[in-house]
Amino acid sequence: MTYLGETVPTVPQPRSAGDRPDGADGTGPWLYSRSGPSGADGPTGAVLFGRDGTLLQDVSCNGDPALVLPMAGVRGALTALRGAGLAIGVLTNQPGVARGLIGRAEVEAVQARAELLLGPFDVWAVCPHGRHDGCSCHMPSPALVSASCRALGLPPARVTVIGSGDAVIAAALDAGARAIRVP
């Protein structure tokens, strides 16, 4: 199948070594952190968002930055949270990587576009596995929330997770964070 003149795989493709997760055993999340653990001047808390359907309009297996569109009201909410001194992060399962439909470069291009439109995020936590890959980071596992909390130097009790899906909410609660479900 072709889309905009480029071949688009419609069946899972083999993953290259560059698409493997960071962990040596291939089971860990991709974690992108802008800030180190909080200190005296660090954030007092954080808000982590589910990516698709919460921050960004949900486009299945999106690897195209041109398709990145913020949800209504998100820019203003992020500005207010940053103004209050809170760290901001994103949690996302990306099973399209496991299926060979997108790679790490596409995930990072979507992240870059989101930051261009919405401002910088302190942490991105990405599970590049499929639901049945047996990894420890695919939500509803709490691993993405826990990894984000460690990267920010905050205990889960000082973190709120906002998401539109059951998996994000379950991950937050299992990690010991507060959770808010949005429609």
Q: What confidence score (pLDDT) does residue 34 get?
A: 83
The pLDDT of residue 8: 40
Say how far apart CA 183 and CA 180 lie, in whole Å. 10
Residue that wins the pLDDT comparison between 27 and 105: 105
Helix, strand, coil percent content, the chain, rounded in steps of 5: 30, 20, 50
Q: What is the pLDDT of residue 102?
A: 96
Q: What is the pLDDT of residues 72-92, one digit of tens each?
A: 999 999 999 999 999 999 999
Which pLDDT score is estimated for 75?
A: 96
pLDDT > 60? residue 41 = yes
Q: Residue 59: pLDDT above 80?
A: yes
Residue 30 has pLDDT above 60, yes or no: yes
Prediction pTM value: 0.83
Range 29-181: architecture per CATH: 3-Layer(aba) Sandwich (3.40)
What are the residue boundaries of the structural domains of the chain, listed by start?
29-181
Average pLDDT over every residue of 121-143: 95
What would the 3-class secondary structure string for 9-42 be? Answer: CCCCCCCCHHHCCCCCCCCCCEEEECCCCCCCCC
